[in-house]
Chain A
Amino acid sequence: MAKKLNKVDVVTVGVGWAGGIIASELTKAGLKVVGLERGEERTTEDFQMVHDEYRYAIRYELMQDLSKETITFRNSLNEQALPMRQYGAFLIGTGVGGAGAHWNGDTWFFSPYDFEIKSMTDKKYGKNKLPKEYTLQDWGITYDELAPYYHQFEKMAGTSGELNPLRPERTEEYPTPPMKSTPILDRYMEAAKKLKLHPFRQPSANISEVYKNPDGQTLNQCQYCGFCEKFGCEYGAKSSPNVTVIPTALKTGNFELRTHANVTGIIHDGNKATGVRYVDVQTGEEFDQLADVVVLTSYTLNNTRLLLQSELGRPYNPETGTGVIGKNYCYQITAVATGFFKERFNAAMGAGSLGTTLDDYNNDNFDHSDLDFIHGGSITMKQLGKRPINENGAPSGTPRWGKEFKAESIKWFNRSIPVTSQGASMPHRNNYLSLDPTYKDAYGNPLLRMTYDFTKQDQALYKYITARCAEILTEMGAEVVEPKELTEHFDIVPAQNDHITGGVIMGADPETSALNNYLQMWDVDNVFVIGASAFAHNGGYNPTGTVGALAYRAAEGILKYREQKGQLVKRESSNKLA
């Protein structure tokens, strides 16, 4: 029998960027918020010994414990899905701060085109540019509507950056100037300019100088130590929920952060949620945390899973195309080419979002009339800080072990660097999330089942963008340039990209979306679902900036909901009977 806990104003499931932003905004406004986090307490103090590639980047210290919970995976509808038993293609965060504690810090705004992609594609290229099995949708919000929330996220995070020549004028400056440059990044900049492209120093949450944010939290200056992605920052120099929004919420006295609390279901009567049920993972005790408003703020996968498991919202059915929960699951297409240079660079130095990028082949910035795909990707050279276990690259044909492997991998360690892309991913009717009929987690609940394969659109985009990455490296004077090929099918084993989106998407029409543009569920007014799970497709940038903006938008929505109740957005339905 679960123990009932006194009702609070708001309970959040997961305390990362989304949970932290909701907590800070609502507690500042005087609401009582409980944040439930399945993982452990985590602060800057935990990162004093973080320069440890083996523990953090190879054994994934900060990631979800897969022995408790994982996903099952299959490429197509007629296959038996099997568990992702160990990490490979993507990583899942856990603990206080979530993936925000160990992200790289790339803080992008999605483009105006992203939010109205269906309308703009139809208008420019006709209704048949993509076959109808691509379930492309507008997001139910425009760039201009979301822009103020993007700026709010940037200011809280102290983002460092430089104007992107190909984007609409910013209404506000970046809070801090761009990060330092390096010889290899300068070379990328020059080569791209020679190719008549428009490179710029990319936005970064590894802060270029000491910064005090509007909530009064101080962020330190990045030391370029080379341990960002998959690591926490020992300086508090990388914007993370742990050094910004969580302390802000705690300071109000209205926020209770409860760790080791794994939520197993949303309690509801179909139309209203009354709270959530969770297990204390250390003692096994069950609790019902009652609340006026339930906010799902965990990762894409868990947001979707909790709704399906709690039988909230209408599950998506790929056979009929009806239902919404689990729909429009997207990945991201990591096009990459590696350049091998004669000279040595200080490749071990770096930072998570120390990079130079360009948008010439992103969004609809280039003409797709004669191309068999839409959208594209930002193309970036980054100096992340090379680490020796993971980085043993040598030109192809080099053996994978033995004397020659050793000599070549040592030779190229400081001489090779990749150009990579965050390639957009379009939704497809058969790429979706559902509950697995066979496999269960540590608490006896079904695992989430992922059905996903690369589409023709993905393959065409990958091929095109990879060739562009290679052109830049050639112009940079690399001795050898090697574009990487995409596997025939999506493979759960090799590391690729952690940017997973969709499953609980936003939109203007309740028939085809789960959430309105405040991320409030169409079906259940007092449940908000925040995260990249709300993306109707995945754009050509890293997703965190957009998650942050949507979280600020949702926080405003929850405050509005407290005043006016009911649906905050009028339904626009394609169904004439609605």
Chain B
Amino acid sequence: MDEKSKSNMSRRKFIRNSSYAAGGLIGGGILGSIIGTNYFGETEQPSTGSSKESNFNRALMYFTRQSDFQILSAATERIYPKDENGAGAIQLGVPYFIDHELAGAYGHNEREYMKGPFFSGTDYQGYQTPLKRHDVFMAGIRAMEQESKSNYDASFIDLEGEQQDEILKKFENDEVKLKHVSSAYFFEMLRTATISGAYADPLYGGNADMEAWKMKNFPGSQMTYLNKIGSEKFIEMKPKSLRDHLS
């Protein structure tokens, strides 16, 4: 294969063809090593998908300071920790999922009504802040660090898990003052984004290797259950992602 025709092929097609040629045994060594930043000294590398190709999804698109990203990562891991069921938020790629979401339409509230005037409203009128989601995340993360330093004289990422939980609970219970938004609102967003990142289709950068789906016995994106829907027995299935349907 000459260079010109190779560059004209899509990367995926190239991988598939190469894989076919090598009898399906293509590994990370051929196409480049796994890129994964491991901030927490865990022995495992974050998993990068079944084909073991380079994971270009592991780059920061929103955060500019690595410390902010590390604090976010540590917080998501407390919300969805690694345990006997399996991987936690970090191993699943949740922090990258959140980073990428904050860089895009979600983070910039592109489909929300953001015109003023802004009033705080009653408990029943919902979110009324002029801040966009990425602003709320940034304010919340910096405030978590502030809390950590004033309470424990240490960075959030160096605290014991229980200490991190204490700080997260303060936010959950709205005991920390943030500008233009309640800390409880920030916490709720952080919690929802963490769960979303854990369980969304892997195409969003989380739920690595569909591990979170496997834990829940969720079969993902199957095309049909026509012949299974009536089954008396519980059927365990290997999950499928949307990528399985891309031609």
| Residues of A bordering B, CB below 8 Å | 48-49, 51-54, 58-60, 65-67, 70, 73-75, 79-80, 82-86, 88, 180-183, 221-226, 343-346, 348-350, 354, 386-389, 392, 400-403, 405-407, 409-410, 413-414, 438-440, 487, 489-493
Residues on the B chain within 8 Å of A490, using CB = 124
Task: Enumerate 8 A-B pairs (CB-CB under 8 Å) in ascending A order.
Answer: A83-B113, A84-B126, A85-B128, A86-B126, A181-B230, A183-B230, A406-B81, A492-B125
Q: Are A400 and B191 in contact (CB under 8 A)?
A: yes
What residue of chain B has the Cβ atom nearest to residue A414's Cβ? B217
CA distance in complex: A53, B199 (Å): 9
A70 touches B113 (CB 8 A): yes
Given A65-B111, A350-B225, A492-B124, 10 extra CB contacts under 8 A: A49-B242, A82-B126, A180-B229, A224-B225, A343-B234, A387-B218, A389-B199, A402-B81, A403-B81, A406-B80
Beta-carbon contact of A226 and B225 below 8 Å:
yes
A73 and B78 contacting across the interface, CB-CB below 8 Å: no
Q: How far is the CA of A491 from the CA of B220 in the complex (A)?
A: 32
The majority secondary structure among interface residues of chain A is: loop
Asked if A407 meets B85 with Cβ closer than 8 Å, knowing A53-B201, A59-B106, A414-B234, the reply is yes
Cβ B242 vs Cβ A51 within 8 A = yes
The residue in A52, A79, A349 that gathers the most chain B C-beta atoms within 10 A of its C-beta is A349
Task: Tell me the B98-131 residues at the A interface (CB within 8 Å).
Answer: 106, 109-115, 117, 119, 121-128
Encode contact with A along B212-229: 1 for CB under 8 Å, 0 otherwise. 110111111111111011
A343 to B201, CA, bound (A): 27
Per the bound structure, the CA–CA distance linking A102 and B109 in Å amounts to 23
Q: Which residues of B contact A400 (CB under 8 A)?
A: 172, 191
In chain A, what residue has the closest Cβ to B232? A183
Given contacts A52-B201, A67-B113, A83-B115, contact A223 B226 (CB under 8 A): yes
Assess whether B245 is interfacial by the CB under 8 Å rule.
yes
CA distance A221 to B229 in the complex (A): 14
Interface residues in chain B, defined as those with a beta carbon under 8 Å from any beta carbon in chain A: 78-81, 83-85, 106, 109-115, 117, 119, 121-128, 165, 168, 172, 191, 194-196, 199-201, 203-204, 212-213, 215-226, 228-232, 234-235, 242, 245-246
Q: Residue A66 contacts which of B112, B222, B225 (CB distance < 8 angstroms)?
A: B112
**Cα–Cα, bound, A345→B217 (Å):** 11
> Are B79's CB and A401's CB within 8 A?
yes
**With A75-B124, A389-B200, A489-B124 as given contacts, are A85 and B113 in contact (CB-CB < 8 Å)?**
yes
Question: Is there an interface contact between B112 and A85, defined as CB atoms closer than 8 Å?
Answer: yes
Cα–Cα, bound, A343→B83 (Å): 23
* CB-defined contacts of B195 to chain A, threshold 8 Å: 389, 392
Q: How far, in angstroms, from A350 to B126 measured CA to CA in the complex?
A: 32
A53→B200 contact, CB < 8 A: yes
Q: Is the CB of A389 within 8 A of B196?
A: yes
How near does chain B come to A178, taking the closest CB pair, in angstroms? 13
* Contacting residues, chain B, for A386 (C-beta < 8 A): 218
Assess A82 versus B125: contact at CB under 8 Å? Given A388-B213, A414-B234.
yes
Q: How far is the CA of A403 from the CA of B81 in the complex (A)?
A: 6
Cross-chain contact A439 with B115 (CB below 8 angstroms) = yes
Residue among B79, B84, B199, B213 with the highest chain A CB neighbour number at 10 A: B199
Query: Shortest distance in angstroms between A449's beta carbon and chain B's nearest beta carbon?
Result: 12
Check A67/B85 contact, CB under 8 A, given A53-B199, A54-B200. Answer: no
Residues of B contacting A49 with CB < 8 Å?
A: 242, 245-246
A52-B201, A181-B230 are contacts. A407–B110 as well, Cβ < 8 Å? no
What residues of chain A lie closer than 8 Å to B106, measured between beta carbons?
A: 59
Cross-chain contact B242 with A182 (CB below 8 angstroms): no
A348 vs B235: C-alpha distance in the bound complex, in angstroms?
10
For the complex of A and B, the 8 pairs showing the least CB-CB separation, nearest first, are A51-B221, A54-B200, A223-B224, A349-B225, A388-B199, A344-B234, A401-B79, A70-B113
Q: Are B225 and A346 in contact, with the CB atoms below 8 A?
A: yes
Contact yes or no, A221 B125, CB < 8 A: no
Note all chain A residues with C-beta closer than 8 A to B172. Answer: 400
Complex contact A67–B112 (CB within 8 A): yes
Separation of A181 and B203 alpha carbons in the complex (Å): 33
**Most A C-beta atoms less than 10 A away, residue of B115, B125, B219:** B125
Q: CA of A346 to CA of B230 in the docked complex: distance in angstroms?
A: 9
B78 & A388 in contact (Cβ 8 Å cutoff): no
Residues of B within 8 A of A85 (CB): 112-114, 126-128
Does A67 lie within 8 Å of B124, measured CB to CB?
A: no
* A386 closest partner in B (C-beta): B218
Q: Which residue of B lies closest to A65 (CB)?
A: B111
Q: Contacting B83 at CB < 8 Å: which of A83, A226, A403? A: A403
CB-based contact B217/A225 at 8 Å: no
Q: Would you call A388 and B225 a contact (CB within 8 A)?
A: no
A67-B112, A348-B219, A414-B234 known; A88 vs B126 contact (CB < 8 Å): yes
User: A182 contacts B230, CB within 8 Å?
Assistant: yes
Do B119 and A80 have beta carbons less than 8 Å apart? yes
